[in-house]
C-alpha cells in the first residue's frame, strides 16, 4: 500500500526505513555515519553554494546578523560537523543494552532492553547544523528522523539531507530513514505534530515560542527542551572568590545559551560582604544589571528590577539581582520563576547545600559550580540532542540513551496462569 | 496568593502539598498508607452506604451489569483494597534511588537520582478501586494525585478521597496531596488535560475512547495505557500440548483484560497438524471463532474473519484465526494490526524465537508463555499503575519507578568553564 497523500507517503517511507534500521549492527550504523562525515568534508563547495542561497534570502528579508551567523555554513563549520559525527561514531550503541532482568518464581526470564523509538521528529529554526546533529544521533540509536528545519534554511537542509540519504545508500542502508519536510512549509510542521502512528517522539528546538506551539498543538509525544531562567544563589557563607568566579562565568561565558544564568540571588549577609564586587565584575564583563530595592541600595545607578525581570530569559548580557533574607526565600523565588532547567548555590554550609539539592525542583541542581556545566558534552554523553526541561522520559541533558525506548523480552517454557 | 478560580485553587493546593511530600521519609509515607488501609477496614459501613447511592443511580440509568459490578464496593473488596495498600507499603521507596553517577575529569561529581513527578493526574471511569490504587502508588512515590473518577462513581470516590485526606492528616502529612475533581464534571476533566504547570503527568485508564480523547486533547504529558490487540503466533515447529495450553490460557483466562489474546496466527504446517485441536479447546471454553479462508477450510462452520476482526480488541470470548505461510507473514500481520502491547510466539525453533523477539515492536514480546503474564504483579513490581503502550518514559507494566522523574545533583568545588 502506498499512501496517496504525498506527506503521509513520505512519513511512511521513513517509518519503513526506520524499521530496518532498528535491527542493523552497530558496525553498519557506524559505517553510515563515517560516510556522512566524509561527504561533509568532500562536498564543501556544493553545500556552501546552497547555503549561500539561504543567506542571500535571509539578508534580503532582513533577518538580522545573529540569525544570519547561525545560518552560515563554511568549510571550518562543515569540518566541525564532520568531527561531531565522528564523536557519535565513538559513542557506545545504546540499542540492546539490558536495563533490568530477572527470573520469575515460575521460571520465566524477563529482560528489559533498550530499543530505538522508531522515527524521531524534529522541528527547529534556521540551524542547518542541527540537521546533521539530530540525524547522526537518531541513526546511531537506530531511529529514522523526519526533520522540519524551517524555510530560512531550506536550501541548506535539502543539500544536507540529500547527502545523508546518499551516504546511507552507499553502505547498503535505506536512505529514506532521514527525510526533510521543509517543502511542505508551515502546513508540514502542523501535520508533523499530529502524525501519531508515523512519528514516535517529537523534539522542538528553538525559541520559547516555537517550543510552546509544539507542546500545545502536538498529539505526538513531545520532549520539551531548552528554555532556561537559570538562578545562582550566593548563600551567607559563600567564599567570595568562588562566588565571583561562578557568578561571572555562569552569566558571561556564553550568554545566549539556555544554561547561562539570568538571575542572581544573594543572601543579605553575603550582599553586605561582596555584592559590590560581584556587580563590578559583572559590569566589567559588559553585563547590564537591574536589582530589587536592597540591591539598588548597595549598588550605584542600576535599573529597577520587577516581576518581568525575574520571569524573563534574557539570553543576553543582562542580569537581575535580588537580595533575600534566607535560603527559604531563595528556594521560594526559584520555585516561582524558574523554568526548572538549572540552579546553583554557592555556599560553605553543608546543611544548606543538601537542602538546596533536595528542595529545588529542577533538571540539574548544583553546589559550587558554574551553571554552564549543564551540557551533554560536559556530562560525558559525547553529544547532545538538547536539554529536557520536562519530567517525562528525559530530564536534563539528553544523549543517545534518551533517544531510545525499551521493550520487555520474555522467555518461557510453556508457562500459563 | 490564592487562586480566585476554585478549580485552579484546588490544583494549587495539591501542588503545594505534593511539594512537601517530595521530601518526607519513607517511614512517614508508609505510616500514611497504613492509616489509609486501617481506615478502609474500619469505615466499611460509610463507604458501602455512599457506594449504594452510585449503584442506585447506575441501575436507574441502566448502565449494565458489568459496569455495576465494577462499581460495587463491599466488605470483601474493601478489605482487598486495604491488603493492596499494604502491598505498596512493603515495596521499596523509589525516591532517591541513584541511577547513574560519575566524577567528571574536572572533579565535579554528578548523580542522577529518582525524584517524584510532583502531581499525577488520573482520569478513569466507574472504578472506585482505582481511586485507592492510584492514590497509594502516587503517595508511596512521593507524588500528589488529582483524580477524576467519573460521575458514575462520584459518591464512592468522594468518601474514599475524604478517607485518604484524613489518613494523611492523622500522621501529620498534608491531606491536600490527594484531591478529587469529580464535582467539576466533564469541564473539570477537560481543564485537567490542559493544566500544565499544575499537573506533571496524566494517566488515563479505561476505554479506548477515553484514552484517545485524553491523548488528543491533553497538553499535559500523557502516559497512554491499556488497549491490547494481542497476538499469539503458533509457529511450524510448535509443541502441540504447549500451543494448546498457551492459546487457551491467553484467550480465556480473563478475556476482559488488555493482556488477553485477540488473534491467533498459525503457521500453515502447524495448522495442518493441530488447528482442529486448538479450535476445539477454544470452543469448549466458549470462544466464538472466526477465520480467514485457510482456517475456515480446516474448521467447520466458523465465521469469516475480515479486516475489522483483526483490528478489534474484543475483550470477550471471541477470537480471529489466520493461517500464515511464514514467520515474516506473522510479523507483518502483527506490525499492521497490533496495538504494541503484547505478542507471544510458540515455537521450538531458536532462530525464529530470537527473530520474533528482535523484530516485533511491542511493549512485551514473549516466547512460549501465555500473554497473561504481561502484568506488574507477575513481573514482580508488586502493584501496577497500568500498562503503557507508548514508547516515551514507560513501556509495558508500570510500577512505582514509572511514577518518578529524575534530577541531576551536581557537587563541585568552585569549577567554572
DSSP output for A6-28 = HHHHHHHHHHHHHHHHTTS-HHH
State the DSSP code for B391: S
A contacts of B344 (beta carbons < 8 Å):
410
Out of A115, A200, A393, closest to residue B393 by CB: A393
Return the pLDDT at B2: 64
Cβ separation B416–A221 shorter than 8 A: no
Mean pLDDT of B389-415: 95
* pLDDT reading at A383 higher than 80: no
Work out the pLDDT band at A215, boundaries 50, 70, 90: confident
Cβ separation A102–B366 shorter than 8 A: no
Contact B23, A358 (CB under 8 A): yes
Mean pLDDT of A180-191: 94
* pLDDT reading at A331 higher than 80: yes
CB of A212 less than 8 A from some CB of B: no
Return the pLDDT at A126: 80
* pLDDT reading at A131 higher than 60: yes
Contact A7, A134 (CB under 8 A): no
CB of A100 less than 8 A from some CB of B: no
Work out the pLDDT band at B153, boundaries 50, 70, 90: very high
Out of A196, A201, A380, closest to residue B102 by CB: A380
CB of A94 less than 8 A from some CB of B: no
Mean pLDDT of B66-78: 92
Please name the residues between 188 and 207 in chain A that touch chain B, using a CB distance below 8 Å.
196, 200-201
Cβ within 8 Å of residue B197, ≥6 positions away? none
Return the pLDDT at B380: 84
Cβ separation B415–A373 shorter than 8 A: yes
Work out the pLDDT band at A227, boundaries 50, 70, 90: confident
Q: What is the pLDDT of residues A101-112, one digit of tens each?
A: 999 999 999 999
Please name the residues between 306 and 365 in chain A that touch chain B, using a CB distance below 8 Å.
335, 344, 353, 357-359, 361-365
Q: Return d(Cα B321, Cα A205) in angstroms, integer.
A: 46
Run of H or E residues at B404 = strand B404-415
Which regions of A193-338 does DSSP assign to beta strands (E)?
201-205, 230-234, 261-267, 288-291, 303-304, 318-324
Q: Return d(Cα B317, Cα B337) in angstroms, integer.
A: 19
Mean pLDDT of A18-34: 96
Work out the pLDDT band at A212, boundaries 50, 70, 90: confident
Mean pLDDT of B301-323: 96
Instruction: Provide the sign of the torsion angle of the four alpha carbons B296, B300, B306, B311, taken in this order.
Output: negative
Average confidence score pLDDT of chain B: 94
Return the pLDDT at B243: 98
Return the pLDDT at B327: 98
| Residue of chain B with shortest Cα separation from A415 | B369
Longest dimension (CA), chain B: 80
Min Cα distance B194 → chain A (Å) is: 9
Q: What is the pLDDT of residues B75-124, one digit of tens each?
A: 999 999 999 999 999 999 999 999 999 999 999 999 999 999 999 999 99
Q: Is A92 exposed, middle or buried (0-12, 13-18, 19+ CB in 10 A)?
A: exposed
Which grid cell sits at A304? 529597577
Return the pLDDT at A2: 63
Top mean pLDDT of A40-44, A211-215, A388-392 is at A40-44
Return the pLDDT at B385: 81
Please tell me the class of the A6-224+396-411 domain.
alpha beta
Work out the pLDDT band at A410, boundaries 50, 70, 90: very high
List Cα–Cα distances, A360 to A233, A258, A322, in angstroms: 12, 18, 18
Return the pLDDT at A7: 96
Cβ separation A369–B415 shorter than 8 A: yes
| Residue of chain B with shortest Cα separation from A410 | B366
Return the pLDDT at A382: 72
Q: What is the pLDDT of residues B346-380, one digit of tens each?
A: 999 999 999 999 999 999 999 999 999 999 889 98
| Residue of chain B with shortest Cα separation from A212 | B219
Cβ separation A417–B253 shorter than 8 A: yes
Min Cα distance A139 → chain B (Å) is: 17
Return the pLDDT at B27: 97
Instruction: Give the Cα-Cα-Cα angle B283, B289, B291 (nearest 5 degrees).
Output: 140
Cβ separation A373–B405 shorter than 8 A: no
* pLDDT reading at B13 higher than 70: yes
Out of A221, A245, A373, closest to residue B410 by CB: A373
Cβ separation A221–B362 shorter than 8 A: no
Q: What is the pLDDT of residues A258-283, one digit of tens each?
A: 999 999 999 999 999 999 999 999 99
State the DSSP code for B287: P
List Cα–Cα distances, A400 to A32, A77, A130, in angstroms: 17, 23, 15
Q: Return d(Cα B194, Cα B145) in angstroms, integer.
A: 16
Work out the pLDDT band at B207, boundaries 50, 70, 90: confident
Min Cα distance A111 → chain B (Å) is: 10
Mean pLDDT of A112-124: 96
Cβ separation A196–B215 shorter than 8 A: yes
Q: What is the pLDDT of residues A277-326, one digit of tens each?
A: 999 999 999 999 999 999 999 998 999 999 999 999 999 999 999 999 99
Please tell me the class of the B6-225+396-411 domain.
alpha beta
Contact A410, B367 (CB under 8 A): yes
B contacts of A116 (beta carbons < 8 Å):
none
Tally A–B CB contacts below 8 A.
197
Please tell me the class of the A230-377 domain.
alpha beta
Q: What is the pLDDT of residues A233-255, one digit of tens each?
A: 999 999 999 999 999 999 999 99
Return the pLDDT at B219: 87
Mean pLDDT of B233-244: 98
Instruction: Please report, rounded to a whole number, the percentage of residues in chain A having pLDDT higher than 90.
Output: 86
Min Cα distance A408 → chain B (Å) is: 5
Average confidence score pLDDT of chain A: 94
Among the residue ranges A199-208, B132-141, B151-160, the one predicted with the least confidence is A199-208
Q: What is the pLDDT of residues B250-275, one digit of tens each?
A: 999 999 889 999 999 999 999 999 99
| Torsion of Cα atoms, B215 then B217 then B220 then B222, to 10° | -10
Task: Match 515455537 to its residue by C-alpha cell.
Answer: B347
Among the residue ranges A289-298, B142-151, B219-228, B295-304, the one predicted with the least confidence is B219-228
Return the pLDDT at B47: 98
Cβ separation A391–B410 shorter than 8 A: no
- ipTM score: 0.91
Domain parsing of chain B, residue ranges: 6-225+396-411, 230-377
Amino acid at each position: 500500500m502506498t499512501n496517496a497523500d504525498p506527506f503521509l507517503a513520505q512519513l511512511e517511507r521513513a517509518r519503513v526505513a526506520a524499521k530496518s534500521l532498528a535491527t542493523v549492527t552497530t558496525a553498519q550504523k557506524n559505517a553510515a555515519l563515517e560516510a556522512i562525515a566524509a561527504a561533509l568534508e568532500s562536498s564543501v563547495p556544493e553545500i556552501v553554494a546552497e547555503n549561500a542561497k539561504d543567506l542571500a534570502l535571509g539578508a534580503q528579508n532582513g533577518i538580522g546578523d545573529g540569525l544570519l551567523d547561525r545560518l552560515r555554513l563554511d568549510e571550518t563549520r562543515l569540518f566541525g560537523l564532520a568531527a561531531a559525527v565522528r564523536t557519535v561514531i565513538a559513542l557506545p550503541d545504546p540499542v540492546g543494552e539490558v536495563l533490568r532482568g530477572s527470573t520469575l518464581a515460575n521460571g520465566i526470564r524477563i529482560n528489559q532492553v533498550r530499543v530505538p523509538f522508531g522515527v524521531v521528529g524534529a522541528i527547529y529554526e534556521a540551524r542547518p547544523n542541527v540537521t546533521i546533529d539530530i540525524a547522526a544521533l537518531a541513526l546511531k540509536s537506530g531511529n529514522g528522523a523526519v526533520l522540519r528545519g524551517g524555510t530560512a534554511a531550506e536550501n541548506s537542509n535539502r543539500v544536507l539531507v540529500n547527502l545523508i540519504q546518499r551516504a546511507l545508500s552507499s553502505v547498503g542502508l535505506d536512505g529514506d530513514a532521514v527525510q526533510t519536510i521543509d517543502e511542505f512549509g508551515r502546513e508540514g510542521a502542523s501535520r508533523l505534530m499530529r502524525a501519531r502512528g508515523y512519528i514516535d517522539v517529537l523534539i522542538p528546538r528553538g525559541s520559547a515560542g516555537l517550543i510552546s506551539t509544539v507542546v500545545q498543538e502536538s498529539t505526538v509525544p513531545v520532549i520539551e527542551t531548552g528554555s532556561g531562567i537559570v538562578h545562582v544563589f550566593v548563600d551567607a557563607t559563600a567564599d567570595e572568590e568562588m562566588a565571583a568566579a561562578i557568578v561571572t562565568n555562569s552569566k558571561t561565558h556564553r550568554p545566549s545559551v539556555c544554561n547561562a544564568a539570568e538571575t542572581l540571588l544573594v543572601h543579605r549577609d553575603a550582599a553586605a560582604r561582596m555584592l559590590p564586587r560581584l556587580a563590578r565584575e559583572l559590569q566589567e564583563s559588559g553585563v547590564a544589571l537591574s536589582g530589587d530595592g536592597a540591591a539598588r541600595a548597595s549598588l550605584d545607578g542600576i535599573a529597577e528590577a520587577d516581576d518581568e525581570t525575574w520571569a524573563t530569559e534574557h539570553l543576553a548580557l543582562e542580569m537581575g539581582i535580588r537580595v533575600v533574607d534566607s535560603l527559604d526565600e531563595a528556594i521560594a523565588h526559584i520555585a516561582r520563576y524558574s523554568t526548572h532547567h538549572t540552579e546553583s548555590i554557592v555556599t560553605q554550609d553543608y546543611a544548606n547545600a543538601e537542602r538546596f539539592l533536595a528542595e529545588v525542583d529542577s533538571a540539574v541542581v548544583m553546589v559550587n559550580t558554574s551553571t554552564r556545566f549543564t551540557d551533554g558534552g560536559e556530562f560525558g554523553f559525547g553529544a547532545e540532542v538538547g536539554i529536557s526541561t520536562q519530567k517525562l522520559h528525559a530530564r536534563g541533558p539528553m544523549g543517545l540513551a534518551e533517544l531510545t525506548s525499551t521493550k520487555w523480552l520474555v522467555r518461557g517454557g510453556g508457562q500459563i496462569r
